[in-house]
Amino acid sequence: MNDMILLKPGELVLKGLNRHFFEDRLRANVARRLRSLGDFRITSVQSTIYVEPLSEDIDMEEAFRRCHQIFGIIAVCRAAACPKEKEAIARTAVEYLGEQLSRAKSFKVESKRSDKTFPMTSIQLSQYVGGVIGDAFPDLPADMHDPDLEVNVEIREQAAYVHAGGEPAAGGLPVGTCGRAVSLLSGGIDSPVATWMIARRGVQIIPVHFFSFPYTSELAKQKVLDLAKLLLPWCGRLTVEIIPFTHIQEEIRDKCPEPYFTLIMRRFMMRLSQEVALANGCGALVTGENLGQVASQTMEALRCTEAPLTLPVLRPLIGMDKEEIIRRARELGTFETSILPYEDCCTVFTPKHPRTRPTPEEVAEAESVLDVEALIKEALAGTERVQIKHES
């Protein structure tokens, strides 16, 4: 009996001629995520990925937990492999699932016979295995309609597999299959959720954070790095680009009309993020903007902030209710870190009466007193790059 993990890919099974590209990337992502736990044999057959430990000292509970966070997988289950013989299958079911069977109130056996050379039909195999389980657990009734525990038997080309069903996993597409994007990562609730949502669509993320020391503290910067660490298991690999923003904000404060402070600040963030994106082969920017949430997120304001760009801006939260975003942040485990009381640069020099329905022309006029090119060049030159690493 060989304890292993079965992974069920999601929508990538619907891909056509490029399906192998998605499958290869998914297997590579699984291998990278499990590498620190030990050696595994990872194979893909008939729309299932088989993760088999090559030594007995591997922490399979931790491997199982990590597999839940790999995008591209919709279900994860612990399973035991055994020879494709009815006696071996029934014995494995009794031994491997014995603890669960002893706690169950009822059970049924569900068999799938992908290997049509197996001499029994699916129904015959289910009846046989169910009979052996009934003999081993005489007080456990069978229930074909609403069982407390479903024993699953899969007859595949290479072996038979016994398990008690899968658990929902991350879904989406494997990270790295749909390009790269820069995500504007603040210390708030929204941007980590937006980052997660775009990574779930197979996008490799480069987070960018704007740091305005001394108006924002080192604790505020560390808060963002902590958020990146919480996102790391989902996103695969992250290097946070921290761009100094103090001089730009002071120039805006000193030279621009106050109602436009936030809009001009956001335009600089977009320009800087685009420069990082272009330097790293990215195809888009990602923000946590949500329509109507604040003054800088009206339709008119959003149009003005993205006007200087040539790359598209992805806004996965644009139509979400704030409670929906908070609920997702809690599920991801980012919420408690996001609400720590450290200011970010978006709250520095906030205008008392912000312009909510601007035009691109008037915002461009308001910022025309600034040497935009020089400020962008200076900020990029001071960029700090922090690689976020998995804990062993």
Q: Is the pLDDT of residue 115 over 80?
A: yes
Exposed, middle or buried, 282 (CB in 10 Å: 0-12/13-18/19+)? Answer: buried
Is the per-residue pLDDT at 296 higher than 90?
A: no
**Which CATH code for domain 2-170?**
3.30.2130.30
ω before 214 within 30° of 0 (cis)?
Answer: yes
Closest CA to 204 of 269, 282, 289: 282
pLDDT in tens, 189-245: 999 999 999 999 999 999 999 999 988 889 999 999 999 999 999 998 899 999 999
- In the predicted model, what is the mean pLDDT of residues 116-145? 95
Name which CATH class applies to 180-388. alpha beta
Q: Which whole number is the average pLDDT over 69-89?
A: 95
Which residues are paired to 77 by β-bridges? 6
**Least trusted range by pLDDT, from 89-103, 121-135, 290-304:** 290-304
Q: Where in the chain is the domain with CATH 3.30.2130.30?
A: 2-170
Residue 139 has pLDDT above 60, yes or no: yes
Q: Say yes or no to pLDDT of 140 above 60.
A: yes
- Verdict on whether the full-model pTM lies above 0.75: yes
CA-CA distance, 37 to 58, in Å (whole number)? 6
Cα-only R_g, the chain: 26
In this prediction, residue 391 carries a pLDDT of: 64
Query: Torsion angle, CA of 189/191/194/196, rounded to 10 degrees?
Result: -80
Helix (H) or strand (E) segment spanning residue 362: helix 360-367
Residue 132 CA to residue 126 CA, distance in Å, equals 10
Name the band, by pLDDT with cuts 50, 70 and 90, for residue 64.
Answer: very high
Cβ–Cβ under 8 Å, residues 305 and 296: yes
Please report the sign of the dihedral spanned by the C-alpha atoms of residue 28, residue 73, residue 16, residue 177.
negative
Give yes or no for residue 1 having a pLDDT over 60. Answer: no
- Summarize pLDDT for 276-289 with one digit per residue, the tens: 999 999 999 999 99
Mean pLDDT across the stretch 113-138? 95
Confidence (pLDDT) at 354:
85
Question: Which of 38-47, 141-150, 187-196 comes out lowest in average pLDDT?
Answer: 38-47
pLDDT of residue 122: 95
CA angle at residue 185 from 180 to 191, to 5 degrees?
A: 95
Q: Which residue ranges does the chain devote to CATH 3.40.50.620?
A: 180-388
Neighbours of 228 (CB within 10 A): 24
pLDDT of 16: 82
State the average pLDDT over residues 63-84: 95
pLDDT of residue 17 exceeding 90, the answer is no
Return the pLDDT at 88: 96
Residue 392 has pLDDT above 60, yes or no: no
